[in-house]
Amino acid sequence: MRKMTAAAVAAVIALAASAVAEDLKESLAPKLQRIIGLQAEVGPLHPVLQNLYPVAVVDGDRFLIFDLDESKTGYRFLKEAPVPMPMPKGVRAAFPLEALDNRSACVVSPEVFDSARGYVTIFHEFVHCRQWETVEPALKGRLSIYRQAMEAGDYMWELSYPFPYENAEFAEDYPAALDRMDRGDGPEALRIRARLKDLLGPENYEYLCWQEWKEGFARYLENAILRHLNMEENHGGLALPLTRVAFYEGGSRFIAFLEGRENGLTLNLETLFERIADPSGEPAGNSIRPTGPSPTTH
């Protein structure tokens, strides 16, 4: 029996991988369509949820990228593309893809489609896509921590920033401020917040506000969807020791507090960021409109 050459073995492996990818694409197609049905149900909850974006499913070292079809009523397979970096198991993310001319996409692993909560997570990531395509680049440009990170070539700064989570005063006061908000004691909550700003200093406070705006707003809408679907809300993140995930929950609750003071605040993402950074700002009334392109499905 003749031995297969290395080239022949490689060809067989490539054919097998291609067949697996085709099977995965076929199995994903109907699952992607469920996003359309869910959006029809949850889109009225907030204008940001009326936007759909590409979905890049991680398959080994490549993406299987799906995008809306020409009618905007369903998803179709668009292309394969190499992953730009190693993707963690169970990835749930959103970022611009070179393969999409730097359009932002929801990046997930295939099992996200196996549960109803997984579909809600996709909409959490779509919120980040909306942030990116409207005001995120301009807002980041205002941050000294972002400019410093870019000068240093640190493109993972949002994940790796050395925030002082272990500071005992911060670990006590940050949840305490949220508790005061929940109990209706806004003045005391804002006094604690001002004390935290002084404690943290300008750069750490910038990072806090950025994460509360970016991740807190996505969590805020994620929980709005979960409530609408009569599912248990996601309030994880404040267990000690605190981590970056504290700002998902803290940001969501702070945004709910601010929205209660200024109806319609969350309709303008730039103004929302400004209120998070300076909650003493003058309310803008109810005439707020979404920043950037109109919130329509595309």
pLDDT band of residue 288 (cuts 50, 70, 90) is very low
> For the segment 135-194, what is each residue's pLDDT rounded down to a tens digit?
999 999 999 999 999 999 999 999 999 999 999 999 999 999 999 999 999 999 999 999
pLDDT band of residue 23 (cuts 50, 70, 90) is confident
Query: Please, which residues have CB within 8 angstroms of residue 260's CB and are 6 or more apart in sequence?
Result: none
Supply the pLDDT for residue 22.
81
Supply the pLDDT for residue 285.
42
Question: Is the pLDDT assigned to residue 298 strictly greater than 90?
Answer: no
How would you label 265-288 residue by residue, b for 16+ Cβ within 10 Å and e otherwise?
bbbbbbbbbbbbbebeeeeeeeeb
Supply the pLDDT for residue 21.
64
Strands 103-108 and 55-59: parallel
State mean pLDDT over 213-240. Answer: 98
Share of the chain above pLDDT 90, in %: 85
State mean pLDDT over 80-95. Answer: 95
Supply the pLDDT for residue 7.
52
Q: What's the distance, Cα to Cα, between the start and end of the chain in Å?
A: 57
Distance CA(131)–CA(104), nearest Å, equals: 10
Supply the pLDDT for residue 281.
74
Distance CA(95)–CA(134), nearest Å, equals: 13
Supply the pLDDT for residue 40.
97
Q: Coil, strand or helix: which one is 102?
A: coil
Query: Please, which residues have CB within 8 angstroms of residue 85's CB and are 6 or more apart in sequence?
Result: none
pLDDT band of residue 213 (cuts 50, 70, 90) is very high
